[in-house]
Amino acid sequence: MPPAPSSHRPTRRDLARWLGALVAGACLPAGLKAAPAGRFAPARAFSPAALVAQARAAARRPYAARPLSAHAAVDFDAHVRLAYGAAEEMPGHIRLFPTRRDIGAGSVDIHLVEGGMARQLIDTHGLFGSGEAADAAGFRAMYADGHADWLAFLGASYFRAVGGSEQYGLSARGVAVNTSLPGREEFPAFTAFWLEPLGEQRFNVHALLDGPSLTGAFSIATAREQGRTVQDVTASLFFRQDIAQLGLAPMTSMFFLGESTTDHTRDWRPEVHDSDGLAIHMAGGERIWRPLDNPPEPRTHSFRADAPRGFGLLQRDRAFDHYLDDQSFFDRRPSLWVEPKGHWGKGQVVLYAFPTASENVDNVAAFWQADAPARAGGRRDLAYRLTWSGWAPADANACCVDVHQGPGGVPGAEPIAGATRYVFDFAGPVLAGISSASAITDLPKEAVLLSHVAPVAGQPARWRVTLDVRTQGLAQADFRLFLAHGPQALSETVIQPVRA
């Protein structure tokens, strides 16, 4: 991903990952030009309820994929000329992304909403960098001075926003269909947007979703605040056919290298990732932390989470010297936190990861899946809040901030055959001043060869757990660990994958 937005030119990775990164060095006009006559179709009444009715009606019809526009850019260079040259803005500081043929970036319908009336964009002359007309594949919201964009919708149902450092990272999605199941994943797409500017860095995004298995109506109230972007999402989904795995409030990220990676021959940088862990706040108050990794084969992990208070993929590690990347700035990537509204019922948070040999591949997905099946002819309504920021949800309990692993045994001595050493660092004000702590795990007693818990020298609110675990022949794929002081739990629960 790019460095500072003021100097960024789009890279092939930006377009290959669909969501088109930060704005280029191209300057916007100092003032908005008047829209040419005929830019928009006549106004028609619009409401979120009408959009829901439209999605419901579409679900009763057979799915028909939208053909790729004949006006789509044919290659990377043509796409750059269209997307990143000087161009007019639409109301609300909106810039359009053009369609692109070689990566299948199809066209979407764009409407502007004001006072309950919507006008469809029908003439895009002047709205792209080359000055020529083109079809829109998505859009981005610019800061008022035009130095960067802070929100982008592009490709299928993907979208993303910046946090406090004006840096993109992971992506959200409207829905996820069969993401971790064998066979071909389905990618429903936003096919039409209704954009409703409400003020400086604040507007509503209404969107129609369409795919082989379902349709949907989304209304996303979006606001850029100090240090974060907040989106309140309401969605109504209508099922054309049974869906084996329906992921709600899904997000997609990348994990290539981390602090526990033992093979550092693949890259000179010590860490390369957009997110370093999955956090879950359970209905009963327990907090779960599952560190991410780059697994040797595709793996799916499910965490029982009935009516969760929240979940998300976080980037906790914000130390530049842990990444040493002065172009991609992984230390600035936002975390994404989901807060369900209403009672979501029984279900589970699903984490899916597959191996990647490149940072250009998003290989991690997380979402909530209801126990109730998604059946043809059915409907599902939900609401939730998305917060994009450098903020990591926490309470009085300590958080796991570092996980390292290596051969079991004393450093410098002969390693213990079949054993792995795990080192967990916990940090938080609750740890300051305590006299002792213990590590509670669900490992078999005979598998724990060493368990040592002590404060980290010079850091009164940080404690370290060192475990030597006989992982060879261990039946469980992961283990649970938390810090306790007597009967009191001091930390979140870490669910650590086992690597023999």
pLDDT of 331: 92
- What six digits make up the tokens of 384? 């939730």
What local confidence, expressed as pLDDT, does residue 412 receive?
A: 86
Looking at residue 500, its pLDDT comes to 62
| Cα 392 from chain centroid (whole Å) | 14
Residue 19's pLDDT band (boundaries 50, 70, 90)? very low
CATH second-level architecture of 5-389?
Distorted Sandwich (2.70)
Does the domain at residues 399-497 carry the CATH identifier 2.60.40.10? yes
Higher pLDDT, 335 or 199: 335
Per-residue model confidence (pLDDT) at position 5: 30
439-465 confidence digits (pLDDT tens): 999 999 999 999 999 999 988 899 999
Query: Quick check: 18 pLDDT over 50?
Result: no
Q: pLDDT per residue over 357-400, tens digit each?
A: 999 999 999 999 999 999 999 999 999 999 999 876 666 689 99
The per-residue pLDDT for 105 is: 61
- Per residue in 125-172, pLDDT (tens digit) is 888 876 677 889 999 999 988 888 999 999 899 999 999 888 999 999
Task: Please compute the mean of the pLDDT values over residues 231-256 and round it to a whole number.
Answer: 97
Query: So what's the pLDDT on residue 104?
Result: 55
pLDDT of 20 > 50? The answer is no
Domain layout of the chain by residue ranges: 5-389, 399-497
Indicate if the pLDDT at residue 77 is higher than 90.
no
The pLDDT of residue 36: 53
- Average pLDDT of every residue of the chain: 87
166 φ/ψ angles, rounded to the nearest 5 degrees:
55, 40
